[in-house]
Homo-oligomer: A and B are copies of this chain.
Amino acid sequence: MEYTLLPKGFYSCAKKLGIKDNTPDFTVIYSEARAAAAAMFTKNQFCGAPVTVGKEHIKDGFLQAFVINSKNANVATGKQGIEDVHTIISAVADELSISSSDILPSSTGVIGVPLPVKKITEGIPGLKSELKKDGLKDSAEAIMTTDTFAKYRSETIGGVTLCAIAKGSGMIEPNMATMLSYIMTDAQIEPEALKAILNRAVNVSFNMVSIDGDTSTSDTVAAMANGLAGPVDLQKFEQVLTDMLISLTKDLARDGEGATKLVEVQITGAQNDEEAKVMAKSIINSPLVKTAIFGADPNWGRIISTIGNAEYSINVEKVSVSFGDIAVFSDGEPTDSNLEELANYLKGDEITISISLGNGQGKATGWGCDLSYDYVKINGEYTT
């Protein structure tokens, strides 16, 4: 129960408005005090209408509410899409007696289908009376699409509370932000500091996960800090936030569409961190690697092939590859590893692949999942 409590001065409600089916599909997360805020958005050029509006509203560094619907992304909906966003957030602003420019809107779900605006606006009057202190889990559920479980975290740092929710299961390879994640804290932090901390934490967490290599049109991660619990040690805050977002990132990967395994790829010895990141992503995104892991097939040669496709120069004689503690390739030569032992390791539900390039100090860790029959099923039948 305690775990679903929001930070001081934050309230939320979750509703079933029938946008696509009868599951929770709409949530409002509200701060009684106007809050310092920061956000990062998708780099997809066909970004959703709510992303366009949200980018405007975050500019002054303050927000007072997140308004999020699932089951429809309001993307590729033309000019009508933008009008629909304004209609909805104006109704919420009236209901809560706040400025609509202090609202960050988000939508996630199918692309290219007009938002059922009437269903949404009809659900808004009276919403203020439904707001509650312990709504963290309910809000996390209301933003789910193909997710199979709600993703939320809560931590305290001295007298300060930090909460976050996230969703995402397909069309996941965040580029500067992830599908949807919202962070609420009662700590007192200036907008600029919040923005810098958020950027650094997202770069080693959400920006290092890929389910399918497709960057979504709706990616948004946004934070509000309303200051009601006073100041916080910023270094400590950043560490807790980073760990929290990495933990949520692993949830996203574990809950990737059709996934049966969480895959962690650790790169060391790259020339720099950027090259390590690109390689971690290329391993995580290889359908040949993903299907071999799904089938627990000890076909480590597919890792070798993916490494060899790097756009930068690899010293092939220094490359080593391990699965868990099992070294399969060492300094450019195959080891006499036991393939049966490797196949057994691959039957587990958390797989770690470590790659050492022997070229420098660059390193990165990325997360992904396997590619299963259910991935094909989920994505072959998404709109039908």
Contact = CB atoms under 8 A, between A and B. Distances in A.
Interface in A280-337: 285-288, 291-292, 294-302, 304-310, 313-314, 316, 328-329, 332-334
Contact of A373 (B110, B111, B112, B376): B376
Closest 8 CB pairs of A and B: A295-B380, A111-B301, A46-B308, A291-B379, A112-B301, A44-B308, A78-B333, A45-B308
Given A110-B299, A309-B44, A371-B376, A76 B329 contact: yes
A342 to B, nearest CB: 10
Contacts of A286: 212-214
Contacts of A377: 295, 373
A274 to B, nearest CB: 15
Contact of A329 (B112, B301, B333): B112
Contacts of A213: 285-287
19 contacts: A45-B309, A46-B305, A46-B314, A76-B334, A78-B333, A110-B301, A214-B288, A217-B308, A287-B287, A287-B371, A288-B379, A294-B376, A297-B379, A298-B383, A298-B384, A299-B383, A343-B384, A372-B376, A373-B376
A309 B77 contact: no
Interface string A329-361: 100111000010001000000000000000000
B292 A380 contact: yes
B373 A214 contact: no
A20 to B, nearest CB: 14
A107 to B, nearest CB: 13
A289 B154 CA distance: 36
A110 B288 CA distance: 12
A170 interface: yes
Nearest to A371: B376
A381 interface: yes
Contacts of A285: 213
A47 interface: yes
A288 B46 contact: no
Contacts of A333: 78-79
A270 to B, nearest CB: 14
Contacts of A313: 45
A215 interface: yes
A12 interface: no
B214 A304 contact: no
Given A294-B376, A380-B295, A111 B302 contact: yes
Contacts of A44: 305, 308-309
Interface string A39-83: 000011111000000000000000000000000010111110000
Contacts of A202: none
B297 A171 contact: no
Given A47-B308, A113-B301, A287-B379, 14 more contacts: A46-B307, A46-B314, A76-B304, A79-B333, A111-B304, A112-B334, A171-B288, A212-B287, A213-B287, A217-B305, A291-B378, A294-B376, A299-B382, A375-B376
A164 to B, nearest CB: 25
Contacts of A382: 292, 295, 297, 299
In the complex, which of the residues A78, A308, A372 has the most CB atoms of chain B within 10 Å of its own CB atom? A308
A381 B45 CA distance: 38
A308 B215 CA distance: 9
B214 A306 contact: yes
Contacts of A309: 43-45, 175, 214-215
A171 to B, nearest CB: 6
A160 B174 CA distance: 54
